[in-house]
Amino acid sequence: MTETANDETGLFTVFNEIGIIHQLASALFLKVLPDGVHIAHFAILNHMVRLGDGRTPAQLASAMQVTKPTMTHSLKVLEGRGFIAVRADATDGRAKRVALTEAGRRFRDEAIAALEAGMAGIADQLDDGSLPETVERLRRIRRVLDAAR
pTM of the model: 0.82
How many domains does the structure of the chain reveal?
A: 1
Domain annotation covers residue 76: yes
Domain annotation covers residue 103: yes
Task: Note the pLDDT of residue 118.
Answer: 83
Q: What is the mean pLDDT of residues 6-27?
A: 88
Is the pLDDT at 2 greater than 90? The verdict is no
Is the pLDDT at 1 greater than 70? The verdict is no
Domain annotation covers residue 10: no
Amino acid at 22: H
CATH code, domain carrying 55: 1.10.10.10
State the DSSP H helix or E strand holding residue 44, giving kind and residue range, or none if neither. Answer: helix 39-51
How far the first Cα of the chain sits from its last, in Å, is 33
Domain annotation covers residue 56: yes
Domain annotation covers residue 15: no
Model confidence over 89-140: pLDDT tens digits?
Answer: 888 878 899 999 999 999 999 999 988 888 888 888 887 888 899 999 999 9
CB atoms within 10 A of CB 8: 9
Task: Check if the beta carbon of residue 32 is closer than 8 Å to that of residue 114.
Answer: yes
Task: Note the pLDDT of residue 81.
Answer: 95
Task: Check if the beta carbon of residue 60 is closer than 8 Å to that of residue 84.
Answer: no
Domain annotation covers residue 93: yes
Range of the domain at 65: 35-119
The residue among 67, 63, 66, 34 whose CA lies nearest residue 50 is 63
CB atoms within 10 A of CB 69: 10
Domain annotation covers residue 27: no
Is the pLDDT at 8 greater than 90? The verdict is no
Task: Check if the beta carbon of residue 44 is closer than 8 Å to that of residue 65.
Answer: no
